[in-house]
Amino acid sequence: MSDRKDLVLDGVREFHREASPAQEFIPGTTEIWPSGAVLDENDRVALVEAALEMRIAAGTSSRKFESAFARRLKRRKAHLTNSGSSANLLAVSALTSHTLEDRRLKPGDEVITVAAGFPTTVNPILQNGLVPVFVDVDLTTCNATADRVAAAIGPKTRAIIIAHALGNPFPVTEIAQLAEQHDLFLIEDNCDAVGSLYDGKLTGTFGDLTTVSFYPAHHLTMGEGGCVLTGNLALARIVESLRDWGRDCWCEPGENDRCLKRFKYQMGTLPAGYDHKYIFSHVGYNLKATDIQAALGLTQLAKLDSFIEARRRNWQRLREGLDGVPGLLLPEPTPRSEPSWFGFVITVDPEAPFRRAELVDFLEERKIGTRRLFAGNLTRHPAYTHQPHRIVGELTNSDLITEHTFWIGVYPALTDEMLDYVTASIKEFVATHG
């Protein structure tokens, strides 16, 4: 049986080599994607192996991934989810758990976040009946600043959820200090910043909870997938319950009596001894991922360090190549940080003799992919205009980002040749649009 499996997997490796020949880069013809999955033969083998073993639900690979990822990101617990958005939903929802007693967030409580970003950093606030409080960002780092967050803290503020923008850390030491001083929960949306450092410490290790996405654009991929990590075992237990239908029991699938008291509980008004497997202590979801996803996560995780290194190298090459180009505001790492970059963000100076749309069109015509800084100013989208929210200060930079900012890729599959073509194209555009 296992000989037959080895034979199949050897065939998969051969197939991979045939299906993925080295591609010649043809400037203007070859697509230069802003992001994408970087998959090798080990990834393909892992996927097929999980399928061969028909591990179709969450199982051994999921648990293995969770403990390896928690170790790598220096958190005690990791819970795999079906997306980064689900991870954010679980992280915010966890703060509303009745088991937190007086510290639980209640409808109408406020959560500070930034206006310029990704919608599902903010949506769980509204989905839990809480009120987002939007602050502006700094233009060169695209991040929240501690003074803006401090100015937004009011009597109803109970938590902060902010993403490390495009891999660039927000000043998380300072914001974690504010959270501690004001007894606020802090969630770091680390979906775009796995491996980033601030004050020499990994992002995601400062807050109460942190989230990661494994969609193909991100540092690691499972196709779809995400993760909630925490150092707090009580919060981890709540996250697990909410992820797994709201159940109180923490047995793995297929396990029956981990707590050795399966028929000895009495909870709610249930009869004594009601099966703990079917006692529900939260109004939960099912946001689990599968072993097929986790199997891919494990082979991806083995490459994380090289992925981070390549992203840093590519960002640096673009930064040096574009330095001094007139009309462009270029990104800077947040002081005291070492970002694990997601993308290379460019803002067209509003005073420049050309517009973002012209530059983006020029690049796209040359097959150089561009993306917006996600939603730009979220408060301007139809989804949010009628939702309860508070805005603190002017959202000047969020508006500038909406109108003048875009980003290009730094992901590991981009070669020096491609990056140099990107730089040369931008320089050529600027030189001919003076």
Ligand X SMILES: Cc1ncc(COP(=O)(O)O)c(C=O)c1O
Least spacing, CB of residue 413 vs ligand X, in Å? 18
| Residue number, 37 or 191, with CB nearest to ligand X | 191
| Residue number, 192 or 208, with CB nearest to ligand X | 192
Q: Does 221 bind ligand X (CB under 6 A)?
A: no
Task: Kindly name the residue from 218, 219, 389, 404 that is annotated as catalytic.
Answer: 218
The DSSP 8-state label assigned to residue 217 in this structure reads T
Q: Using CB under 6 A as the criterion, what x/- string covers residues 158-187 for binding ligand X?
A: -----x------------------------
* Residues in 227-266 that interact with ligand X by CB under 6 A: none
Q: Does 188 bind ligand X (CB under 6 A)?
A: no
Name residues whose C-beta falls within 8 Å of residue 211's C-beta, 6 or more positions apart in sequence: 84, 87, 88, 90, 91, 187, 188, 189, 190, 191, 226, 227, 228, 229
**CA-CA distance, 25 to 9, in Å (whole number)?**
30
Least spacing, CB of residue 343 vs ligand X, in Å? 10
What does each C-alpha distance from 164 to 124, 185, 271 come to in angstroms?
A: 17, 16, 47
| Residue number, 34 or 84, with CB nearest to ligand X | 84
| Residue number, 203 or 205, with CB nearest to ligand X | 203
Least spacing, CB of residue 216 vs ligand X, in Å? 9
Least spacing, CB of residue 37 vs ligand X, in Å? 13
Judged by CB under 6 A, the residue of 35, 61, 62, 83 near ligand X is 83
Q: Interface with ligand X by CB under 6 A: which range of 20-28, 151-159, 209-217, 324-332?
A: 209-217
Phi first, then psi, for residue 203 (nearest 5°) are -60, 150
Handedness of CA 214, 215, 221, 222 (dihedral sign): positive
| Residue number, 120 or 128, with CB nearest to ligand X | 120
Nearest residue (beta carbon) to ligand X = 84
**CA-CA distance, 162 to 206, in Å (whole number)?**
12
**CA-CA distance, 322 to 419, in Å (whole number)?**
11
How many other C-beta atoms are found inside a 10 Å radius of the C-beta of residue 64? 16
Judged by CB under 6 A, the residue of 34, 59, 84, 343 near ligand X is 84
* Residues in 91-150 that interact with ligand X by CB under 6 A: 118, 120-121
Active site residue 182: no
Residue whose C-alpha is closest to residue 35's, from 369, 383, 406, 373: 369
The radius of gyration computed from the CA coordinates of the chain, to the nearest angstrom, equals 23
| Residue number, 226 or 339, with CB nearest to ligand X | 226
The DSSP 8-state label assigned to residue 421 in this structure reads H
Q: Does 340 bind ligand X (CB under 6 A)?
A: no
Least spacing, CB of residue 296 vs ligand X, in Å? 14
Core vs surface per residue 338-375: b (16+ CB within 10 A) or e: bbbbbbbbbbbeeebebebeebbebbeebbbbbbebbb
Q: Which helix H or strand E contains 15, and what residues bound it?
A: helix 2-19
Judged by CB under 6 A, the residue of 226, 297, 339, 376 near ligand X is 226
Residues binding ligand X (CB under 6 A): 83-85, 88, 118, 120-121, 163, 189, 191-192, 213, 215, 217, 226
The catalytic residues are 218
